[in-house]
Amino acid sequence: MAPHTSRPRIGVSWLPAEGAAAHACVRAVRDAAGEPVPLLIEVDSWTESLPGLDGLLLTGGNAIDPRRYGEENHGLCRVVIPRRDALEQEAFDHCLRQGKPVLGVCRGMQFLNVALGGAMLQDLPITVVEHEQVGERSRFHSVDVLPGTRLATLVHVEGPLRVNSRHHQGLRAAHVAPGLRVTALAADGVVEGLEAADGRFLMGVQFHPELPGEVPEAAPIFDLLVARAQDR
């Protein structure tokens, strides 16, 4: 396929119309020379928007409905929005069929894992690592970036990387979907990064590279998302 002559269009999921332009993920796509396309929460379908997208960014936010990974909600999933799950599944499936790149951030990483048949923990125990934010502020901890992964290439690190953390759910290696491989781990075994094992640009990180200055090493993740969308 011939290269695009315009900025590649990256769908950014589940944003309110008011304030969408200022959302950190929208800014990150724009800074990477992409054209962010907010996929808004106020609509019942994204069907008309999906064909015009060149890539997809699944954002953070509320809990995934546990029924999507075969469990009941034990009261630990504080806010569940089934309509969001359905819309993001539709967008994810479209991009998978069309070979469009997908990046998931925090909940977005969890969602792409569940969408491919993986599972997760509804609530993480507090062990040697505390993952949940303090009010509106991120926590910070180290993760081990695994050698030979796309994440290691992008952040120029094999080994410890300091990341931000704003989640109380997560997954461990046993929960990872077929076709995905782990790219980063916290000290308590919580998965902090995933990517497609077959080389496609299907990638997720549990931390938030879109937040200015918090994980500056990870900014190239958005550059590669836009570049892969450009190359389609």
Q: Which helix (H) or strand (E) holds 190?
A: none
Answer yes or no: 210 catalytic. Answer: yes
Residue in the block written with tokens 């782990």: 182
Paired residues of 58 in beta bridges: 104
Answer yes or no: 18 catalytic. Answer: no
Q: Of residues 88, 192, 195, 210, which has the active-site annotation?
A: 210
- Please list, residue by residue across 213-229, b when 16 or more beta carbons sit within 10 angstroms of its beta carbon and e when fewer do: ebbeebbbbbebbbbbb
DSSP 2: P
Q: Of residues 25, 88, 106, 195, which has the active-site annotation?
A: 106
Paired residues of 180 in beta bridges: 196
CA–CA distance from 148 to each of 35, 89, 135, 181, 194 (Å)?
30, 29, 36, 11, 13
Q: Which helix (H) or strand (E) holds 199?
A: none
Q: Of residues 94, 131, 168, 208, which has the active-site annotation?
A: 208
For 57-107, the DSSP string reads: EE---SBPPGGGGT----S----B-HHHHHHHHHHHHHHHHHT--EEEETH
Answer yes or no: 106 catalytic. Answer: yes
Catalytic residues: 106, 208, 210
